Amino acid sequence: MHKRLYPEVPIVGIGAVIVKDNKVLLIKRAGEPGRGLWSIPGGLVELGEKIKDAVRREVKEETGLEVKVNEIADVTEIITRDEEGKVKYHFVIVDFFAEPLKGELKPSSDALEAKWVEFEDLRKYHLTETVEKLFKKLGFLK
């Protein structure tokens, strides 16, 4: 298990931008950082796990869906420091486009909710800062 808080090395995370019928799949985060905020399905790459396998695993765990992982949507990093300047969080996140193959949408313990949201309704959701930046870059948000 990765030490997320005050890590010794950067941690690699993944996310899945899943679009279907002009809607994007959002999950409401159950854990920190960002508990209660809306994000895309994702998580951490495990030691020895291929990055696209991590995307498939995390999406299945969080949403119940099986997906085909496509090209990289974006790469970003989150570095958060505490009041003393020590690194509290350091994530390198690789987001992929993915498409649903099968399964029934149902959130797991990692996600409080999961739902398909129309692009024009995205502003109604309290998105994580990272996902808001990603959606602006991809043109989902103006």
Which residues have a catalytic role annotated?
Answer: 113
CA distance 105 to 25: 10
H or E element: which one contains 23? strand 23-29
CA distance 42 to 55: 7
Residues 6+ apart with CB under 8 A from 69: 16, 52, 55, 56, 96, 97, 98
Asked if 57 and 16 touch (Cβ cutoff 8 Å), the reply is no
